[in-house]
Structure 1
Amino acid sequence: MPRRTGYTVLAALAAVVILVSTAIFVGLGGDKGDMDTDARTRGSADPASSGSWVGTWSTSAAAAEPRATLRGLSGMSIRNVVRSSVGGSSARIQLSNFYSARPLTITHASLALAAAPSNPTAATGTMRRLTFGNRSWVTIPPGKAATSDPVRLTIPDAADLLVTTYAPQASGSVTYHPHARQTSYMARGDRTEDTAGAAYTEQSPYWRYLTGVDVWSKEAQGSVAVIGDSITDGITSTAGANRRWTDFLAERLRTEPGAPRLGVLNQGISGNRVLSDGTQYPPNNPSGLSRFNRDVLSRTGVKAVVIELGINDILRIPHQTDPNKIVAGLKRMTEQAHARGMRVVGATLTPFYGHRGYTPRLDAVREQINAQIRSGKVFDEVVDFDKALRDPISPLRLRPVYDSGDHLHPSDAGYRAMAQSLNLDHLKGTAAAEL
C-alpha cells in the first residue's frame, strides 16, 4: 500500500473512532438528570453508578432581611439546620443572592449531618467542605444563585442537615426565609468546619442564603414541589418538630406501600398571593406567578406540583374579589407546568371563619373559586383541603384542626389531616393532555 494511501486509511479510521466515541458519550451523558459535564471531567465526588439528582429540601427566598441591609452578616458563620425528605449517596447545595444589590462572596462552606435533631453539633465523620467549580469560594452576583460541587456523604431519609456558610466581607442585603419553624445558629468568625457546636451561641428562626439541597439517589423517582402561602409554610406548626403538612406528606411518601418515591420541596411563603407581588424592588414576597419558574420549574427533578394559593388574594388589601382572575392565574401556572411535563394537583381554598379578615362577601369569593377547582377544569387533580379542615358538625367547632384564635392556620393535627387528604396516586404519571 502506498504511504499516502495508508495515511488516508488511518485518518478515516481515526475519524470513525472519534464519531463512535462521541455517540457513546452522548448516549450515556445526554439525560438531564445526569451529572454535569464539568463535574465528570473534574473527577468530582459524583457517583459513577446509575441514579439521578433529586431535590430533598428547598425553601423559597422571600425577602431581604430587614436588619441586615448594609453590611449583611459579614464575619459570621451561619449554620442553617434543614431536614432531608429523601436520602442519597452524595449532596450539593444552592445558595441565593436574590435580594442584594451587591455581590455575595462566600469564602467557606460546609455540609454535615447533625448529631441530634435541631442541634448545631455535627455527627462524627460527616463534616464535608464544599467547593464551587473546584474553588473553596464563590461570588454570587446580585439576583443570582450558585450550586456547589457534589460531595460524597450518605444522607439518610428524614435527617437534620447542617449547611454552614461564611462571608468575611460586607455583602449588602441578606436573602432569607423568615418563617423557617426551625432553629438555626450563628457564630462569630470562621467556624464553618467546626464539628462542635459550642461556638454557635446565637440562635435564629430564619434560613439565610440557602435555598436548596439535592441528593444523588438510586431510589427516588424525582420530587414534588409544593407552592403555597403560610398554610404550606406551616407557620402555626410546632417549631423544630417538622410538622408542616409537607413534612407529613414526605412521611407518607416514605412509608406507605405503593407510594411514589419522591422528595418533597416546600415552596411556601407566608402571605403569598397568586397575582400580586410585594412592594419593594426586587419584590419581597413575589407572587406565585412571578416566582413559579424560580421556585418550581427550575427545581431539581420535579415530576409533580401541588398548588395551594389564592386565599391571600382575597384577604389581603386590596382585596381581589373577582374569582375568575384568581382562577386564571392558577390556570397559567398549570399550563407552565404542563409545558415541562409535570402533573399538577391543586388545593381548594381552606375555610377562614373566625379569622379577623372574614366577611361573608369574601367567603363567597372563596366558595366560587373552590367550585371551579372542584370542576376539574383548573388542575389535573384536586386535593380538597377545604373539606379536610371542616368540622363535620359545625363551622364553629374547628378545633383541634385549627390553631386557637385564627381559623386560617391549622394546628399540627390540621396539617396532618391535610397531608392525609392527598391521594398519593395523583402524584404519579405525567401531565394530563388537556384540561
Structure 2
Amino acid sequence: MPRHTAYAVLAGLAAVVVLVSTAIFVGVGNSDGNIDAATRNPRSSAAPASAGSWVGTWSTSPAAAEPNTLRGYAGMSIRNVVHTSVGGSQARIQLSNLYSARPLTITHASLALAAAPSNPTATAGTMRRLTFGEQSWVTIPAGQAVTSDPVRLDIPADADLLVTTYAPRASGSVTYHPHARQTSYLARGDRTEDTVGVAYTEQSPYWRYLAAVDVWSTEAQGAVAVLGDSITDGITSTAGANHRWTDFLAERLRTESGAPRYSVLNSGISGNRVLTDGTQVPPNNPSGLSRFRRDVLSRTGVRAVVIELGVNDILRTPHETDPDAIVAGLRRLTEQAHARGLRVIGATLAPFYGHRGYTPQLDAVRQQVNAQIRSGRVFDDVVDFDKALRDPIFPLRLRPSYDSGDHLHPSDDGYRAMARALDPQDLKGGVAAAL
C-alpha cells in the first residue's frame, strides 16, 4: 500500500473513533419530564465506559402548588435534603414546574453529600455544579419538568444528598411536596455552592421543585416504584429518621440475601385516591390514575410496582361506596403497568377505625375491596397491609391528620411491620398470565 494511502486510511479510522466517542459521551439535558428517557441515551461527558445503568435512587410526587407563592422564591436558594436508597458513581436530578402558570428559570443548581443527616452543610470535596444541556441555567416551561446532565460523584446508599436551586426572578407558584418528613433549608441570595450551611437559616418541612434523583449504578438491578397515599407518604413516621415503610423496604432490599437489588421510589401523596383528583387546575393531589405515568411509569429503571391506594376513595367526600368502581380503577393501573412489562404488587386497604369519618357501612366497602384484592384477580401478587397493621406486636397510634379528621396511622414500628409484610421475592418475575 502506498504511504499516502496508508496515512489516509489511518486518518479515516481516527475520524471514526472521534465520531463514535462523541456519540457515546456528548448530549443534552432532557426537558420532556420523563427522566427515564435518558436511560436509553446517557447524555454527558461524564458517562462511564464500564458496565452499569441508570436507576432512580429517590423520588417524590409533585402534589400541589405551595400556598402564597405566586412570586416563587425569587432571590433565594432552596436546599432540599433527600435520602438515597441505592448508591452510584454519577447522579442527575429532575426538577418540576408542574403547578406554575409561568416559566421557572433556575440560574444555578448544585448537588452534594450532606456532612451529617438532615444538615445543610456539604461533605468536603463533594459539591458539584449541575448543568442542563451543558448550560448552567435552565428555563422550565409551565407544567413541565427538566432533567440535568449527569455529574460524577461517588454516592453511597442510605445517605443524605443536598440538592440546591437558585431562581433570581419571580416564577409563579412553587411546585412542592408538603409532607416530606424531612427538614430542608432556604438562604437569602445565591448560596447554591456554599459548602458550609450557616447561610441556610430558614428551615422547611417541604420538598420544592425537586422530583427525582437518578444514579449510575453497577449494582442495582432496577427500581420498585410505590404508588400510595399518606401511609406510603409516611406522614406519622419520625421526621428526619427515614422511617417510612418504603425506607424499611429499601433497607431489606439492600441487606437481605436473595432479595432483588432494587432501589425504592416513593410516590405517596397524603389523601390520594385512585379515581378522583383534587379541586384546583391543574389538580392538586391528582388521582392515582391521572398521575401514574408521570410519577411511576416514567421513573428510571422501574422493574416492579407496588400500589397502596383506595382508602381515601372511601373516606373522603364524595364517598365512593361501590367497591367494584375502586377495584376497576386498580385493575386499570395494573393494566397500564403490564403494558410496560412491569410486575404489580397490590396492598390490601388498611383499617381506618378511629377516623372521624368511620362508619360500619364504609368499612364494609373497604372489606369488599380487600376481598377482591385477596382473590388474586387484581394484581400479580398481594401484600396484606390490613393484616400487618392489625398485628398486636405493632399497635397503631392515633395522630392528628395533615388533611382532614383524625387518621389511624402506624408508628415507626408499624411502618417496619408493613415493610416486613412484603416478600421481596414477590417483586421478581414477570406479570401474571391472566387476571
Please name the residue that 2:103 is paired with. Answer: 103
Quick check: 1:67 aligned with 2:68?
A: yes
1:45 Cα deviation (Å)? Answer: 1.2
Please name the residue that 2:47 is paired with. Answer: 46
Quick check: 1:76 aligned with 2:87?
A: no
Please name the residue that 2:328 is paired with. Answer: 328
1:199-250 CA-to-partner distances (Å, cap 9, x unmatched) read: 0000000000000000000000010000000000000000001000000000
1:178 Cα deviation (Å)? Answer: 0.2
Paired amino acid for 1:235: I
Quick check: 1:234 aligned with 2:234?
A: yes
Paired amino acid for 1:368: Q
The question of whether the paired residues in 2 share the 8 Å contact of 1:401 and 1:412 is answered with no
The question of whether the paired residues in 1 share the 8 Å contact of 2:58 and 2:84 is answered with yes
The question of whether the paired residues in 2 share the 8 Å contact of 1:185 and 1:203 is answered with yes
1:401 Cα deviation (Å)? Answer: 3.3
The question of whether the paired residues in 1 share the 8 Å contact of 2:389 and 2:417 is answered with yes
- In 2, Cα distance between equivalents of 1:403 and 1:91: 39
Secondary structure (helix, strand or coil) at the match of 2:318 reads coil
- In 2, Cα distance between equivalents of 1:76 and 1:381: 46
Please name the residue that 1:198 is paired with. Answer: 198
Paired amino acid for 2:268: G
Quick check: 1:122 aligned with 2:117?
A: no
Please name the residue that 1:36 is paired with. Answer: 41
- In 2, Cα distance between equivalents of 1:59 and 1:407: 22
Which runs of structure 2 are paired with 1:122-141 in the superposition (5 Å)?
122-141=122-141
- In 2, Cα distance between equivalents of 1:121 and 1:37: 30
- In 1, Cα distance between equivalents of 2:216 and 2:283: 33
1:287-317 CA-to-partner distances (Å, cap 9, x unmatched) read: 0000000001100000000000000000000
Q: Gaps (5+ residues) in structure 2?
A: 25-35, 401-405
The question of whether the paired residues in 2 share the 8 Å contact of 1:182 and 1:205 is answered with yes
Paired amino acid for 1:375: S
Quick check: 1:402 aligned with 2:407?
A: no
1:165-185 CA-to-partner distances (Å, cap 9, x unmatched) read: 000000000000000000000
Please name the residue that 2:416 is paired with. Answer: 416
1:249-283 CA-to-partner distances (Å, cap 9, x unmatched) read: 00100111111001100000000000000001000
- In 2, Cα distance between equivalents of 1:77 and 1:403: 37
- In 2, Cα distance between equivalents of 1:365 and 1:38: 49
Paired amino acid for 1:57: W
Paired amino acid for 2:110: S
Once the two structures are aligned, what percentage of the paired residues are identical?
78
1:36 Cα deviation (Å)? Answer: 2.0
Q: 1:404 to 1:143 in 2, by over 3 A?
A: closer
Please name the residue that 2:253 is paired with. Answer: 253
Q: 1:145 to 1:227 in 2, by over 3 A?
A: same
Please name the residue that 2:161 is paired with. Answer: 161
Secondary structure (helix, strand or coil) at the match of 1:223 reads strand
**Number of aligned residue pairs:** 407
TM-score (norm 2): 0.90
Please name the residue that 1:170 is paired with. Answer: 170
- In 1, Cα distance between equivalents of 2:332 and 2:372: 14
My pick for the range that moved more, 405-414 or 72-81, is 405-414
The question of whether the paired residues in 1 share the 8 Å contact of 2:396 and 2:408 is answered with no
Secondary structure (helix, strand or coil) at the match of 1:306 reads strand
Please name the residue that 2:27 is paired with. Answer: none
Please name the residue that 1:429 is paired with. Answer: 429
Paired amino acid for 2:342: M
- In 1, Cα distance between equivalents of 2:300 and 2:172: 28
The question of whether the paired residues in 2 share the 8 Å contact of 1:321 and 1:365 is answered with yes
1:345-383 CA-to-partner distances (Å, cap 9, x unmatched) read: 000000111111110000000000000000000000000
Paired amino acid for 2:170: A
Q: 1:79 to 1:404 in 2, by over 3 A?
A: closer
- In 1, Cα distance between equivalents of 2:321 and 2:102: 39
The question of whether the paired residues in 2 share the 8 Å contact of 1:350 and 1:408 is answered with no
- In 2, Cα distance between equivalents of 1:32 and 1:318: 37
Please name the residue that 1:112 is paired with. Answer: 112
Paired amino acid for 1:46: A
1:66-91 CA-to-partner distances (Å, cap 9, x unmatched) read: 021x2111100000000000000000
- In 2, Cα distance between equivalents of 1:122 and 1:407: 37
Secondary structure (helix, strand or coil) at the match of 2:334 reads helix
Please name the residue that 2:307 is paired with. Answer: 307
1:130 Cα deviation (Å)? Answer: 0.2
1:46 Cα deviation (Å)? Answer: 1.6
Q: Gaps (5+ residues) in structure 1?
A: 1-6, 393-397
Secondary structure (helix, strand or coil) at the match of 1:358 reads coil
Which runs of structure 2 are paired with 1:350-369 in the superposition (5 Å)?
350-369=350-369
Q: 1:207 to 1:414 in 2, by over 3 A?
A: same
The question of whether the paired residues in 2 share the 8 Å contact of 1:401 and 1:415 is answered with no
Paired amino acid for 2:74: S
1:33 Cα deviation (Å)? Answer: 7.3
- In 1, Cα distance between equivalents of 2:39 and 2:411: 40
Paired amino acid for 2:66: E
1:32 Cα deviation (Å)? Answer: 7.1
Secondary structure (helix, strand or coil) at the match of 2:397 reads coil
The question of whether the paired residues in 2 share the 8 Å contact of 1:351 and 1:407 is answered with no
Q: 1:144 to 1:34 in 2, by over 3 A?
A: closer
1:404-429 CA-to-partner distances (Å, cap 9, x unmatched) read: 57553111111000000001001112
TM-score (norm 1): 0.90
- In 2, Cα distance between equivalents of 1:82 and 1:289: 26
Secondary structure (helix, strand or coil) at the match of 1:408 reads strand
Please name the residue that 2:30 is paired with. Answer: none
- In 2, Cα distance between equivalents of 1:186 and 1:172: 18
- In 2, Cα distance between equivalents of 1:107 and 1:408: 43
1:48 Cα deviation (Å)? Answer: 1.5
